[in-house]
Amino acid sequence: MRDRPSGFANPWLQLALSVLCVFVSELLLKRGASDTANPAQAWSWTGVTGLASPLVWLGIIFVIISFISWLYVLRYIPLTIAFPLSRVVDILVPLGCWFFLGEAISTRRWCGIALVVIGLAVTAKPVARLEERL
């Protein structure tokens, strides 16, 4: 494997950037999709009716940014490590709703978040060994 770039080109930094953009895009897309929801409309099952919302377009921009940095990540990090780590977004979304929107988080949800954090820690541990090898 070629030398791993540092600074902004560091694949781990790009992974974090990708996750952050997915997080922002998910909130934007959900808001935009809800604003334009009209199941009676023809073609609504394809999702294209969501394009009527500017929030969806903004969401798409974030999707594209996350996609480009994700492609870059794929070049350097095995999928079995990068993909599970990218699911940190699954706890960022509920935490973001709690922090920014003041939504309540139940005990069961906290347990789920804890499980994901433990899973991420277990997954990230081989990363240290991977870094040594590179």
- The residue type found at 74 is L
| 75 part of the interface to another protein, by CB under 8 A | yes
CB atoms inside a 10 Å sphere around CB 102: 7
Which of 47, 36, 92, 44 shows the shortest CA–CA distance to 66? 92
Rounded to a whole number of angstroms, the minimum distance from the CB of residue 28 to another protein is 11
- 33 binding another protein? (CB under 8 A): yes
Round to whole Å and give the CA distance between 7 and 2.
16
Shortest distance in whole angstroms from residue 7 CB to another protein? 19
Torsion angles phi and psi, residue 25, rounded to 5? -65, -35
CB of 41 to another protein, least distance (A): 9
Q: Taking CB under 8 A as the rule, does residue 39 contact another protein?
A: yes
Size of the chain in residues: 134
Distance between CA 14 and CA 58 in Å, rounded?
A: 20
Residue 4 in the binding site for another protein (CB under 8 A): no
Task: Please report, as ranges, the residues that interact with another protein according to CB under 8 A.
Answer: 1-2, 26, 29-30, 33-34, 36-39, 44-50, 56, 63, 67, 70-72, 74-75, 78-81, 83-84, 87, 90-91, 93-94, 105-109, 111-126
